[in-house]
Structure 1
């Protein structure tokens, strides 16, 4: 029997007494009303459980005489389809409604292949949750974007990319992203365009031959990529290197400290991205250099230096990093 052996874990408790392992009547299990993720491929999952067994327990919490499913709703539907009466579950204790919802979002993000829209909806909900937590006086370690990244298993930079797409990309193009007609990178580039320009791109994508769509879209994106990236680079530079105060303009370097290892990792990833982007913007061999190209080269050198230095330093408590100011001028 594919559930054989799991009954031995019934009524066992972990050392911290935060959860128990129980076999629960399937009729007592209820999907969470907070679960907005799609329930897909149940037939395939049923066959997998039938052949290999249930590899992971459901995660639930007791609620009003029943058990709310926090992780494993697809498994629940698959087991029900197989006619299973008792289901091995990890019963979480002393979880608030908010913490239960965070656990549900985390479990789906880490164990399932989500559509970009589902992933972005999870980010939006976590933003709301952390905003409420802060307004209630609860301390959140680091920036909200980094806290969300920890829950989802992503860096703060990756979370920021999805936030930008969710905020600026048209609904038609979000559908194309979910249908794998666009990559996340392409979607981020397009999100910089005006609504009317995005509408035109969505129309072009719709009219493409499905067999040639990916290649055609890549050509289309390359046509808008460079001007968009130039604008994005300037925005990123302003975010990382704020304009120095007048009294600091005579200095050619600036100092800042990393609060934690995650912040360091975020900056490292951003440096890697910027180095790649700026390098791709430089003129090819034999091409004439413009004033703007020399500016890009200066930015490239600065980010490359920062990337190498961060790699060599690593992280230690209270690490203070000194970095040349870009475009700084003598008084």
Structure 2
């Protein structure tokens, strides 16, 4: 068979295989409705297949029609048979284009299709603006490309909602910034809201029949994001009021960590600290040393933020002098 030659013939259903990628990308929703239409009005449009090396056929376009005919108990199906593909990428492109052209994709199907097309571009070593190329291929805006891609970052339970073509998918874009646990809480809250609205238990909620308001979903998500941000700010306030000293590594030779500051951001002389503690008492009371060590540890975080390398080196020299002086006095 020549490359551009197309033959039409009836082929037994049990000799036809589906494209494995199709099941990953596109759902078989409403197959029973399609079967009913075919049963009442007859079969009109052949599916597209090509013959494989093992003698079997693989579907290029028409997976739902194929499943509908199986559901009706038919033994054969009319098919367009073409010569096949030179490369896997050529076959993948055909799978995408045929589904985009013949059916309305759900938000999740569109997200999967975009991801699949991005893989094709990568295999083809595409060097241009990927998002712009995707937008052109699917005839959507670049911002919509981003909105669809975000859906793949959601937990499976939330993705299930996006299998409905009418679902306000863009309302979930901010949910991708939540942790998986927070997304599960969001999912449970949506189910609980539906149960309360219909005055039924959460177990009785038919998830396929839920109709959500875009505004309501966004309100719930924004509430969770604000609560998360407020909790983070509260933690930062607590950290500022009660700074926790960083532990000192026993084997650390990093003397720059010992550069310290007081609350007024003035650099305190380490030598002065040590000398003052020595002058207070000549007894073996080591409380002053303990306090000095505690003070140094408390200011380690501030020391790390010093950008003036010269000041750091000067303080290292001052520290060495103070330690030498202390050692000689013992």
Q: State the TM-score, normalized to the length of structure 1.
A: 0.52
Contact 2:172 2:218 in 1 (8 A): no
Aligned to 1:39: 28
Of the three residues 111, 115, 130, the one matched with 1:124 is: 115
d(CA) in 1 for partners of 2:166 and 2:225?
A: 20
Shift in Å, 1:45: 1.6
d(CA) in 2 for partners of 1:93 and 1:215?
A: 44
Contact 1:116 1:178 in 2 (8 A): yes
- Structure 2 vs 1, CA of residues 216 and 45 (structure 1 numbering), >3 Å: closer, same or farther? closer
Q: Is the counterpart of residue 162 in structure 1 residue 153 in structure 2?
A: no
Of the three residues 70, 80, 85, the one matched with 2:60 is: 70
Aligned to 2:4: 18
Structure 2 gap segments, 5+ residues each: 199-209, 227-330
Q: Is the counterpart of residue 185 in structure 1 residue 170 in structure 2?
A: yes
Structure 1 gap segments, 5+ residues each: 1-10, 230-331
Aligned to 2:266: none
d(CA) in 2 for partners of 1:32 and 1:92?
A: 16
Matched residues, number: 209
Per residue, is there more strand in 1 or in 2?
A: 1
- Structure 2 vs 1, CA of residues 181 and 171 (structure 1 numbering), >3 Å: closer, same or farther? farther
d(CA) in 2 for partners of 1:220 and 1:34?
A: 32
Q: State the TM-score, normalized to the length of structure 2.
A: 0.52
d(CA) in 2 for partners of 1:199 and 1:171?
A: 10
- Structure 2 vs 1, CA of residues 58 and 153 (structure 1 numbering), >3 Å: closer, same or farther? farther
d(CA) in 2 for partners of 1:48 and 1:109?
A: 21
1:42-71 CA-partner distances (Å, limit 9, x unpaired): 332222123333343312222112221011
Higher CA-based Rg: 2
d(CA) in 1 for partners of 2:212 and 2:160?
A: 19
d(CA) in 1 for partners of 2:81 and 2:92?
A: 16
Per residue, is there more helix in 1 or in 2?
A: 2
Shift in Å, 1:187: 0.9
Aligned to 2:130: 144
Contact 2:61 2:95 in 1 (8 A): yes
Give the secondary-structure state (helix, strand or coil) at the position aligned to 1:23: strand
